[in-house]
Amino acid sequence: MRADRLVAALLFLQQRGRVTAAQLAEELEVSVATARRDLEALSVAGIPVYPQPGRGGGWALVGGARTDLSGLSATETQALFLLVGPSAAISGEARTALRKLVRALPHTFRADAEAAAAAVMSDRTGWSGLGRPRPDSVGLLQNAVVRRRKVRLTYTNAFREQSVRLVAPWGLVDKDDIWYLIAGTERGQRTFRVDRIVEVEATEEIAERPDDFELERAWNHVVGEVEQKRSGTWATVLIETRYVPILRDHFGRHCHVDAEFEDARSRVRIAAPTPLDIARNLAGWGWAVEVLEPASVQHELARIGDELTRQYGG
């Protein structure tokens, strides 16, 4: 897991002061190329790690060798925890590494470091299956979460209606490269898609956060509500087993194989919000998919077929 490798690389630099990519690769039991990428990632994240050119060079932590992490500033500490924090949500090893790192930090930095680690989580199970570039506003929102400052959002909703809202940012979630902001508003907790945020304005107004707020628990509640809406209708279909991965790509976690038969076909359960949503996804398969039930999906497929016949049959 890259998160605990980055922490291990930083601690190795703390002990040695200066190392080559080859030395780090040997220590971490990875390739030299991987070690070099890890060192570059630390530097990009704001950790004071820089390459030293020339004979006897390598990578050095500014300030020389140290046995603790007192050489890091508060901003640099937050940068490191924002970098490795999301992996801690899915890796026990990363959580252990972060706990060790917290204990090595100066006391005055620990609260900010823990806040940074809790500011972001990763959920790699996508809803759409389409990766997207990270929005530019993520960094500013992360900083607002850690500093507990409200932000003013210019936001476009699913109906393309634009509004300006002052919110208290509580946490960010990277769901398979689609980012979401969980925030407190006048109407309670709300979730915003970051790629629909047109503009972010930082303020110095304190953002109150419930004492019992936990990002992972809040996100699980959001996922539960969304999944309930997305699985309003279930259908059972027969399809050639070799096509099951394609069907799973269309329906994601709402695709379950019930049985595989000797004729190289599988019985699969799929779900979507409505019968029409399922029918629209299956219509292009033609004879390759047979809907066993419910009748509502069969009816929608027949209706779509009639429409296509009237449109193109002549």
pLDDT (mean) for 117-123: 60
Lowest mean pLDDT among 2-6, 72-76, 87-91, 177-181: 87-91
pLDDT(110) > 60: no
Residue 66's pLDDT is 45
∠ Cα 164 166 167 (to 5°): 125
pLDDT at residue 89, as a whole number:
47
CATH assignment of the domain containing 44:
1.10.10.10
Quote the pLDDT of residue 21. 87
Write out the DSSP string of 14-31.
Answer: HHHSEE-HHHHHHHHTS-
- Residue 119, domain member (yes or no): no
pLDDT(34) > 60: yes
Structure tokens at 13: 């630099």
Q: Which of 193, 228, 263 corresponds to the end of one domain?
A: 228
Distance of CA 215 to the CA centre of its chain: 13
Number of domains in the chain: 3
Identify whether 123 is part of a domain. Answer: no
Query: Cα(276)–Cα(62) distance, rounded to whole angstroms?
Result: 61
SS3 5: helix
Split at pLDDT 50, 70, 90, the class of 313 is confident
Mean pLDDT of the chain: 79
Left if phi > 0, otherwise alpha if psi is -120 to 50, otherwise beta: which for 3? alpha
Residue numbers of the domain that contains 59: 2-79+90-112
Contact between residue 34 and residue 27 where contact means Cβ atoms under 8 Å apart = no
Q: Assess whether 208 and 276 both reside in one domain.
A: no
pLDDT winner (highest mean) among 66-70, 117-121, 176-180:
176-180
- Residue range 285-306, pLDDT digits in tens: 999 999 999 999 999 999 999 9
Asked whether residue 131 is assigned to any structural domain, the reply reads no
Tokens 């699969």 found at: 268
Q: Which of 195, 228, 261 is the last residue of a domain?
A: 228
C-alpha closest to that of 281 among 241, 239, 312: 239
Report if residue 255 sits inside a domain.
yes
253 CA to centre of own chain: 16
What whole-number percentage of the chain has pLDDT above 90?
36
Per-residue DSSP letters for 143-169?
A: HHHHHTEEEEEEEE-TTS-EEEEEEEE
Residue 88 has a pLDDT of: 47
58: phi then psi, degrees, rounded to nearest 5:
140, -150
Q: Is residue 124 part of a domain?
A: no
Residue 247 sits in the same domain as residue 161: no
Given a cut of 60, whether residue 129 has pLDDT beyond it is no
To the question of pTM greater than 0.75 for the whole model, the response is: no
Out of 6-10, 182-186, 256-260, least confident range: 6-10
Same domain assignment for residues 96 and 155:
no
Q: Give the Cβ contact number of residue 262 at 10 Å.
A: 5
pLDDT digits (tens, 9 = 90+) for 190-239: 999 999 999 999 999 999 988 888 888 888 888 888 777 778 899 999 99
237 and 182 part of one domain = no
User: How much is the pLDDT for 53?
Assistant: 67
The three-state DSSP-derived secondary structure of 40-71 is HHHHHCCCCEEEECCCCCEEEECCCCCCCCCC
CATH code for position 261? 3.30.70
**Encoded tokens for 175:** 């769901």
Q: Residue 243 has what pLDDT?
A: 94
Crossing angle of helices 2-16 and 74-88, in 10° steps, is 150
Q: Are residues 12 and 29 in the same domain?
A: yes
Residues 206, 156, single domain; the answer is: yes
Q: What is the pLDDT of residue 76?
A: 53
226-228-232 Cα angle (round to 5): 120
The CA distance from 105 to 265, in Å, is 57
pLDDT for 145-204, tens place per residue? 878 899 999 999 888 899 999 999 998 888 877 889 999 999 899 999 999 999 999 999
Grade residue 267 by pLDDT with cuts at 50, 70 and 90. very high
